[in-house]
């Protein structure tokens, strides 16, 4: 119920979830591919199963591929390769933390880190310098987007340079505050 309340309050407009009345351990999520990515407006379905010792263990997640291998992290057989669910050996900050990790974090991370503009860079054997180059090239855009989210001038996932702000759904105050903090941190790194 705690997770559901977080989702009700903070779920971006491009991610949808459905629970099952008789099976509180199941959840289906649909993530809409973001603008500016090869997945723009595509629908990605995921089934999530909460283990009996959740949140001590991450949820089990399966991608409904419909027979397509659309991303290096999403396999035809439903396998999702992602460090947050402890599948890929990322550093401790990238792995599931029973005290702080949430389903919202998982879904937003999949949308932003897996279903991104250059999925080729998600390949595990790609060198870090290639990823760093990607962020160097897009740094100004990323900073502008995070700043717009923090100031309430763009809806998460729908930022475009020189376009009027979206009026469909506003970001929550917490999301805006987090974006403002992130903007300051990113600006110091640039």
94 close to 79: Cβ distance less than 8 angstroms: no
Identify any residues that bridge with 44 across adjacent strands, giving them in sequence order: 31
Catalytic residue status for 81: yes
DSSP secondary structure of 151-182? TTSS-TT---TT-PPP-S-PPPHHHHHHHHHH
Q: Which of 6, 81, 87, 104 is labelled catalytic?
A: 81
Q: How many Å apart are CA 50 and CA 60, to the nearest integer?
A: 6
Say which residue the tokens 């990238």 belong to: 94
Q: Which two tokens stand for residue 124?
A: 């595990």
Distance of CA 94 to the CA centre of its chain: 13
List, in order, residues 6 or more apart from 154 with CB less than 8 Å away. Answer: 145, 148, 160, 165, 166
Distances (CA, A) of 148 to 29, 35, 95, 137, 157: 26, 16, 28, 19, 11
Answer for the pair 4, 19: CB distance below 8 angstroms, yes or no.
yes
Q: Which residues are catalytic?
A: 81
């Amino acid at each position: 119920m705690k997770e559901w309340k977080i989702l009700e309050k903070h779920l971006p407009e491009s991610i949808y979830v459905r629970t099952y009345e008789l099976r509180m351990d199941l959840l289906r999520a649909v993530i809409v591919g973001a603008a500016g990515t090869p997945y723009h407006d595509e629908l990605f379905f995921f089934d999530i199963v909460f283990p009996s010792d959740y949140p001590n263990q991450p949820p089990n997640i399966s991608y409904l591929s419909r027979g397509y291998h659309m991303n290096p992290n999403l396999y035809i057989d439903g396998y999702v390769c992602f460090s947050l669910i402890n599948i890929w050996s990322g550093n401790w900050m990238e792995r599931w933390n029973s005290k702080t990790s949430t389903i919202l974090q998982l879904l937003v991370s999949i949308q932003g880190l897996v279903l991104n503009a250059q999925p080729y860079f998600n390949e595990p054997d790609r060198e870090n310098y290639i990823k760093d180059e990607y962020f160097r090239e897009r740094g100004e855009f990323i900073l502008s987007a995070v700043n717009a989210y923090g100031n309430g001038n763009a809806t998460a996932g729908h930022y475009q340079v020189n376009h009027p702000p979206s009026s469909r759904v506003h970001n929550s105050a917490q999301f805006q505050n987090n974006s403002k903090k992130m903007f300051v941190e990113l600006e110091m790194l640039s």
